[in-house]
Amino acid sequence: MKKRFISVILLSALVLLCACGSSSASKPEVTPSETVDQFLKGIQDEDQDAIKKVYEESTFDLGAEAWDDDDDEEGMDTAMNKVLTDDFYPRLIDFEYKIGEEEVNGDEATVKVDITTYKMGDAFVAGFKDFFAGAMDLYNSNASDEQVSKVMSEKLHKQISALNKKEYKKTATFHLTKEKGVWVVEDMDDDENEAALNILSGGMLDAENSIDRMTDD
- Residue 72: how many CB atoms within 10 A of its CB? 13
**Cβ burial, residue 50 (10 Å; 0-12/13-18/19+):** middle
- State the Cα angle at 36 between 83 and 111, rounded to 5°: 115
Q: Which residues pair with 102 in a beta bridge?
A: 111
pLDDT in tens, the chain (217 residues): 433 433 444 444 434 444 444 444 456 789 999 999 999 999 999 999 999 999 998 788 887 777 765 544 444 566 778 898 899 999 999 999 999 999 999 999 999 999 999 999 999 999 999 988 887 777 778 777 788 888 889 999 999 999 999 999 999 999 999 999 999 999 998 899 999 999 999 999 999 889 888 777 6
- At CB < 8 A and 24+ separation, what contacts does 11-16 make? none
Detail the DSSP E strand segments found in 9-167: 96-105, 108-117
Rg of the chain on CA atoms, in Å: 25
pTM summary value: 0.81
Q: What are the domain boundaries of the chain?
A: 30-216
Q: Is 9 helix (H, G, I), strand (E, B) or coil?
A: helix
Ordered strands of the 108-117 beta sheet: 96-105, 108-117, 168-179, 182-185
